[in-house]
Structure 1
Amino acid sequence: MRTYTIGCAILIFLLNFCACKESPKEKESVKTQQKLPNIVFILSDDQAWTDYGFMGHEVIKTPNLDKLASEGLTFDRGYVPTSLCSPSLASIITGVYPRRHMVLGNDRVLPGDDKSVKPSWRSSWRPKNYDTVIKHFNTLQTLPKLLKEKGYLSFQTGKWWLGNYKNGGFDYGMTHGDPERGGRHGDYGLEIGRQGMDTLYNYIDLALEKKKPFFMWYAPFLPHSPHTPPDSLLQKYLPKAPTEYVAKYWAMCEWFDQTCGQLMDYIEEKGETENTLFVYVCDNGWVQNLDNATYNKNSKRSPYDYGLRTPIMYKWKGKIMPFRDTVNLTSSLDMVPTVLNLLDMDIPAGMDGIDILDKEALNNREAIFGEIYAHDFNTLEGSLFYRMAMTNPYKLILPDAENQPDETVKLYHIFKDPTEQQNLAEERPEIVARLKQMIQEDWKEK
């Protein structure tokens, strides 16, 4: 009797084991049935890397981004490849340097164009000149185009320089890009954040109604000028700021943070937080002048860290371990490859970034690069101002000999000298030579 009982138990165990063991096809079936994460890119506009609570600013309050930083994988030493919005945004969505996507500046100027006209009248010649730029851009892969393979719905809100949102592969968007109706860098899309979040909420609702994963491009015109914050925020910062101009800018930073909180709260209300990947970056930096509404020359459009450096954050609750990385250098070019690898998708040949979750690739990275062109550009060679190489711990700024003949080579120890005050180029010529060679080799590749 005892032998029979043991034999039955063994038989039952074997039957259960065989029933639970999956064939390779069954494993793949289970994998493909897993719910795909929503993906939200949050992009601030004209904000210095120092101007967040979690980055140590003593006055500016950014509680929502502070929370995102604490709950995600946060890189203190992130960079965008160029410090101007149009080329920077194009690099974020494509994962390639400006020299490959050819959106070199905000406006393209051809011989004979009247560059003295006021920006509000540039629509008379900009669309025609930018047409070839958009046609080339449309030959490239973008994240929304790639995500169609997985059934994603993609939504554009905020800044978008490349005409209609469809030029980026988005399914829906706010930017029409019609020059006859003021289309240049976002048009209707620029209302998001500043005039409420309803359109964005409606897009999220649409995706949930269709039971589709979504990709959201949230690139509001914040804290970008004009600095017109709510009065309650302005009054909060006026007593703390050295001038009213600074107070307005600080208030704009908190206003942007508030909209980020509204976006994340809405996703939480919909029960989608655990199934959403949030990625944060700033398109380029900004240092507010004390005595006028413009920016300091060492920030936006410059090759310095106040123009290029930005925190970059990745948060996917339960999937990406929270960690504050203060050492490794990362780039906005890494955002697309990282997303694709998380979705087990192939990374197209020619992309310039890496999967930052691949620790070996991150640790083996020797440098990341940057390039600055004229705001009003023509050809690549005729518009190039600077090339940069960022390493641990040195950064090289290499001016173009033809277009910036009065500029000198600059080398900074960006860990000891984060505000780039001491040029070490003459003291360390061997490092200058090595980083210059790295820049030249990178430009020869692909």
Structure 2
Amino acid sequence: MTTLRTLTACFLTFLLSLAAAVAGKPNIILVMSDDQGWGDVAFREHPVLKTPHLDKMAAESLVLEQAYASAPVCSPSRASILTGRTPNRSTCYRHGHSMHPKEETLPQILKKYGYATGHFGKWHLGTLYKNSPVNPTAAGYDEWISAPNFFDIDPTLSNKGVATQYKGDSSEITMRLALDFIKRQSAAKQPFFTTVWYGSPHDPHKALDRDKVGYEKLGQHKANFLGEITELDRTVGELRAALRELGIEKETIVWFCSDNGGLKNLGVTGGRAHKGTVYEGGLRVPSIIEWPGKVKAGISKLPTNGSDMLPTVLELAGIEHQPKHPLDGVSIAKTVLGQEKAQPHPLGFWHYDVAGIGCWGEREMQALLKLQQAGQEVTDPKQLRSSGKPVKVSTKANSYPGHSAWLDYPWKLHRIESKKGKVSWELYNLALDPMESKNLTSEKKAEFEALKQAHLNWLQSVQTSMKGADYE
């Protein structure tokens, strides 16, 4: 009897401590567009694009003027947001690669502190089949209705591994599903974390007619591209309105961003080049943080990237957590809250030279639907990615294939290693040369050597993670 009383007391103490931990925790919503460039918003004086809801959000929130994606393509950028690590550490090198199943993710951490977790929209960090080690469940999500990659009108999505057809525009569907989750958690007084990851404005661009109004003279391709952003913008307005109707806007952090820089010949990028490159245009993204009553409206010019989101969110939520693996991200919470002057920190980028993995989401989901209608499931270990093994890459000492960069503002150093091992360097002063047009490696030798050594040290650290050292 004494033992039973002791166990009961311990259990009640646990429940009370958990309730205390949950009380006062902010809800967290990470909203991300797909291939929206730094200037693909009206508030950055786009000549024709209409984004009234993002404009209003920007006017009432903190705009991160120098926000960067952690990678110039989608999958690695997404992995970085969920892990707080540069994507090569998590073996997500290029588009279509999986995040390593041994990574510790933001939803996994938040679940430990009483959060309900949900993912809605594009995944692209593994497969969406049941029992896959790289699906959203494995990454810590309680609920998910997701697409393997980009998706458009009337998509087939995976509802925790069950192929389900939906009607409507992809952005509308994504937000509708997310709002259903949010409303249920709000009614239950349950703090929640949700990622709302759009499939727009990734190609192929297919906007509804109503969203192309005003863009018709620009040609069908551009009208569809801009129309997808306008549709996405409207659903951001629906989210903000719903939070206010529920009376939880002051208890909720909403962080909007894009997954990489803008599209060539379509998007308005934040500098030289476009998606797929490590120059400014391939990395700079729109980024807005809203938390009414906590985060003041304004503009921050602090350079920050996707790796910073995990430690920042945890600090904003008042969670002290010891990470399992080395983080690249640094919390900017105090800057976000206006508690201290922004302190720039170096940002590393490494676009590894290895092929991506193609993924046609609708085709994949239609095949799953037909299989399940016949009473079957995917069992092929290769399709499930059951081994969890990453794509094989070289980890030869002192060799870092591809295009990497080290940003220690105002300096940005590029290292480009060809397939044959030839290395070239480029150094730019972004404050004076935001388009990265004048290489200063020969003129600024002292700065070049210091930055070069810091960058090489970082690359070596990342390569150590790529060898699996973090999981031992």
Q: Same fold (TM over 0.5)?
A: yes
Deviation at 1:34, TM superposition (A): 4.1
Q: Residues 196, 170 of structure 1: CA spacing in aligned structure 2 closer, same or farther, 3 A cutoff?
A: closer
The equivalent residue for 1:437 is 453
Whether contact under 8 Å (1:337, 1:354) holds in the other structure is yes
Q: Which runs of 5+ in 2 are unaligned?
A: 1-16, 128-134, 150-155, 357-390, 466-472
Aligned counterparts of 1:182 and 1:268: Cα–Cα separation in 2: 29
Q: CA deviation at 1:347?
A: 3.7
Distance 1:249 1:43 in 2: 16
* Deviations 1:157-194 (CA, angstroms, capped at 9, x unpaired): 1111222220220000013869xx998xx986997415
2:32 is the counterpart of 1:43: yes
Alignment counterpart, residue 310 of structure 1, candidates 274, 285, 301: 285
Residue 221 (structure 1) aligned to one of 199, 207, 212: 199
Secondary structure of the corresponding residue to residue 286 of structure 2: strand
Alpha-carbon spacing, 1:285–1:189, altered in 2? closer, same or farther (3 Å):
farther
Kindly provide the amino acid, as one letter, of the partner of residue 353 in structure 1.
G
1:84 aligns with 2:73: yes
Change (3 A) 1:48 1:260: same
In structure 1, the residue matched to 2:412 is 395
Q: What are the residue-to-residue correspondences of 1:23-422 with 2, within 5 Å? A: 32=21, 34-107=23-96, 133=98, 137-161=100-124, 162-163=126-127, 164-175=135-146, 192-195=170-173, 197-239=175-217, 241=218, 243-289=219-265, 298-326=273-301, 328-349=302-323, 350-359=326-335, 363-373=342-352, 374-376=354-356, 378-379=392-393, 381=395, 384-402=401-419, 405=422, 408-422=424-438
Distance in 2 between the 1:244 and 1:416 partners? 38
Aligned residues: percent identity? 28
Tell me, yes or no, if the aligned pair for 1:73 and 1:324 is still in contact at 8 Å. yes
- Taking a change above 3 Å as real, the CA distance of residues 408 and 29 of structure 1, as seen in their structure-2 partners, is closer
Residue pair 1:80, 1:370 contacting (<8 A) in 2 also: no
Deviation track 1:83-110 (CA, whole Å, cap 9, x = no partner) reads 11011101001110112111111245xx
Contact 2:84–2:306 (8 Å) recurs in 1 = yes
- 1:116-167 Cα shifts (integer Å, max 9, x gaps): xxxxxxxxxxxxxxxxx55xx2222111111112211111011112222202
Q: Give the match for residue 425 of structure 1.
A: 441
Deviation, 1:286, is: 1.9
Structure 2 CA distance, aligned partners of 1:346 and 1:301?
Answer: 35
Distance in 2, Cα, partners of 1:420 & 1:102:
29
Cα offset, 1:330, TM superposition: 0.9
> Which residue identity is paired with 1:395?
K
The one-letter amino acid paired with 2:275 is K
Instruction: State the aligned residue count.
Output: 381
* CA shift for structure 1 position 436: 1.5
The alpha-carbon deviation at position 267 of structure 1 amounts to 1.8
Sort the Cα spacing of 1:195 and 1:358 in 2 relative to 1 into closer, same or farther, 3 A: closer
| Alpha-carbon separation, structure 2, partners of 1:33 and 1:286 | 39
Whole-Å Cα distance in 2 between the matches of residues 320 and 307 of structure 1?
28
Q: Classify 1:39/1:366 alpha carbon distance in 2 versus 1 (closer, same or farther; 3 Å).
A: closer
**Does the CA contact (< 8 Å) of 2:70 and 2:305 recur in 1?**
yes
User: Relative to 1, partners in 2 of residues 1:424 and 1:192: Cα closer, same or farther, differing over 3 Å?
Assistant: same
Evaluate the alpha carbon distance shift between residue 245 and residue 148 of structure 1 in structure 2; reply closer, same or farther with a 3 A threshold: same
TM-score by length of 1: 0.77
SS of equivalent residue, structure 1 residue 388: strand
Structure 1 contact 234–247 (Cα < 8 Å) conserved: yes
Q: 1:285, CA displacement in angstroms?
A: 1.3
3-state DSSP of counterpart to 2:137: helix
Task: State the shift of 1:32 in Å.
Answer: 4.7
In structure 2, C-alpha distance between the alignment counterparts of 1:36 and 1:306, rounded to whole Å: 36
Does the C-alpha gap of structure 1 residues 246 and 440 become closer, same or farther in structure 2, counting only changes over 3 Å?
same
Residue aligned with 1:248, SS: helix
Q: Offset at 1:283?
A: 0.6
Matched-pair contact (CA < 8 Å) for 1:384–1:403: no
| 1:402 to 1:334, Cα distance in 2 relative to 1, 3 A | same
**Paired letter, 2:310:** V
Q: Distance in 1 between matches of 2:401 and 2:287?
A: 26
Is the contact between residue 413 and residue 451 of structure 2 (CA under 8 Å) also seen in structure 1?
yes
SS in structure 2 at match of 1:437: helix
State the shift of 1:275 in Å.
1.0
- For 2:274 and 2:177, locate their aligned partners in 1 and report how far apart those are by CA, in whole Å: 32
Q: Distance in 2 between matches of 1:78 and 1:251?
A: 24
Please report how far the alpha carbon of residue 263 of structure 1 lies from its aligned counterpart in structure 2 after TM superposition. Answer: 1.8
SS of structure 1 residue aligned to 2:171: coil
Secondary structure of 1:138's counterpart equals coil
Larger radius of gyration: 1
Contact between 1:158 and 1:219, CA under 8 Å: does it hold in 2?
yes
Cα separation, partners in 2 of 1:330 and 1:145, compared to 1, 3 Å:
same
Partner SS for 2:25: coil
Q: 1:33 to 1:288 in 2, by over 3 A?
A: closer
Which stretch of the first structure deviates more once superposed, 281-290 or 260-269?
281-290
Contact in 1 for aligned 2:22/2:191 (Cα 8 Å): no
| CA deviation after TM superposition for structure 1 residue 221, in Å | 0.2
For 1:152 and 1:200, the matched residues in 2 are separated by 15
Distance in structure 2 (CA, Å) of the matches to 1:106 and 1:362: 36
The Cα shift of 1:305 comes to 1.2
How many Å separate the matches in 2 of 1:264 and 1:228? 25
Question: Which is further off, 149-158 or 159-168?
Answer: 159-168
Question: Could you tell me how far apart the structure 1 residues matched to 2:40 and 2:122 are?
Answer: 21
C-alpha change, 1:304 and 1:361, in structure 2 (3 Å) is farther
Structure-2 separation of matches of 1:188 and 1:370:
37
Q: Tell me, what secondary structure is at the counterpart of 2:67?
A: strand
Q: CA deviation at 1:251?
A: 2.3
